Amino acid sequence: MLLPLADAQGHVLERVTALAPQRQRVMAAMGCVLAEAISSPEAVPPFANTAMDGYAVRAADTAGASEASPMLLPVVAEVAAGHPADRALLPGEAMRIFTGAPMPDGADAVLMVERTERLDGGARVALHASVAVGEAVRPAGDDLQAGDAVFERGEVLTPGHLGVLAGLGITEVLAHPRPRVGVLSTGDELVEAGRPLAAGQIRDSNRATLLALVAEHGWTAVDLGLIRDDEAAITGAITDGAAACDAVLTSGGVSMGDIDLVKVVLDRLGDMRWMQIAIRPAKPFAFGTVGERSTPVFGLPGNPVSSMVSFELLARPALRRMAGHSVVHRPLVPAVAAEDFRRHPDGKVHYVRARAERAADGVLHVRSAGGQGSHHLTAMARADALLPLPDGDGVSDGDPVRVMLLADV
């Protein structure tokens, strides 16, 4: 019996939990999930300052000023960002002021420089317009008041978040750590990159792909090496990996064959479930928890496309949950088939490697990315979307579909 994908995902997600939050340096926590609410310890901006270059004045002094009848005021000081005025502005005076400079005491508005004329080498200024109280002034606390709620638990730290935290003087936050994810390949036919191929050998591509996928998500990728099809070697590698990492990804050795040792080893080591999932590619999959910390081990299939699709559909959601995310699945977005996608009923959902292109009207048009064999890694590499074709005969050019985007399109 083939297992529906949602059941396989549910089985895995029930067995992983978010990693315990840790205090982290803000600058090292980009992309991590906040595990505490942040409130503002101070006001931002901390003092009233000017939003424009111009002249700080008392609004009342500018009443009636216009291009036709400018108001002439003496310029008594210059105030720049980081250089507050050393005295207050008195009635009938102006101060030259630059963006970000603190408003001088006594001033309540700024007239932008474009509406002024410098006279007498800067000793006086002609104001060509009047201003209202508060014009071009950013009051203290205009972005955040001390005590304001800033961010909630569960928010993902973006560059903007890091900037806000830096702006508040916060240097550490409680956040879920990045999962450390070990990756190993299994297979007697596999050769490390940079070595010559002997008869019957192929190069190990899955480890490169999976390590890069882990790193791409901001998680810590740990290379656990290329392991022979040997029960003791696989046992050692998985045991050590499970002790050193928060999760382990293996590839190969989970099919029906006698030498599919990963599933044998996982079964011995712990609570393993071997699944035949109703999808193509990536039908075989094994999931177990190993060692004292019940480290999740994802037994991904060996075929290069299958291991990537299996990562996307099964490992990625679980790793996102470990990283503290509440949204773990990629969305399916509406698109239109830009060619026929034919298939035959076989009880499985086919995940077609596809390229999505947004047309001028904003609609996503989806085409095949190339060869659809589970060894056609080049097409997978070029794909920026997976198009799930439900069991049946496929879809025709022009049909509405839903796609899972793997990249910005």
What residue ranges bind ligand AMP (CB under 6 A)?
185, 187, 189-190, 202, 204-207, 251-253, 255, 257, 301-304
Give strand pairing partners of 54.
97, 112
From the list ligand AMP, Mg ion, none, pick the one residue 204 interacts with, judged by a Cβ distance below 5 to 8 Å according to partner type.
ligand AMP
CB of 186 vs ligand AMP, minimal distance in Å: 6
**With respect to ligand AMP, which residue has the nearer C-beta, 190 or 389?**
190
* Contacts (CB under 5 A) with Mg ion, residues 178-237: 187
Tell me the β-bridge partners of 221: 181
The helix (run of H) or strand (run of E) holding residue 127 is: strand 124-127
Closer to ligand AMP by CB, 87 or 382: give it. 382
CA distance 398 to 365: 9
Nearer to ligand AMP, 54 or 304 (CB): 304
Strands 38-39 and 149-151: antiparallel
Backbone angles phi, psi at 214, to 5 degrees: -60, -50
Number of other residues whose CB lies within 10 A of the CB of residue 312: 18
How far apart (Å, rounded) are the C-alpha atoms in residues 96 and 86? 13
Q: Which residue has the tokens 């480290």?
A: 295
| Residue 65: φ, ψ to 5° | -65, 140
Q: How far apart are CA 96 and CA 77, in angstroms?
A: 6
| Contacts of Mg ion in 287-346 (CB under 5 A) | 302
Q: Are strands 180-186 and 220-227 parallel, antiparallel or unpaired?
A: parallel
Shortest distance, position 371 Cβ to Mg ion, whole Å: 21
Q: How far is the CB of 155 from ligand AMP (least distance, A)?
A: 37
Task: Rank residues 187 and 317 by Cβ distance to Mg ion and give the closer one.
Answer: 187
State the minimum distance, in angstroms, from the CB of residue 272 to Mg ion: 17
Residue of this chain nearest to ligand AMP (CB atom):
302
Residue nearer to ligand AMP on the CB measure, 50 or 251:
251
Binding Mg ion (rule: CB under 5 A), the pick from 252, 281, 288, 301 is: 252
Binding residues for Mg ion, total number by CB under 5 A = 4
Q: Which does 169 bind (CB under 5 to 8 A by kind): Mg ion, ligand AMP, none?
A: none
For Mg ion, the closer CB: 102 or 253: 253
Distance (Å, rounded) from C-alpha 119 to C-alpha 181? 68
Bond into 74 cis (ω within 30): no
Q: Does 21 bind Mg ion (CB under 5 A)?
A: no
Q: How far is the CB of 215 from ligand AMP (least distance, A)?
A: 17
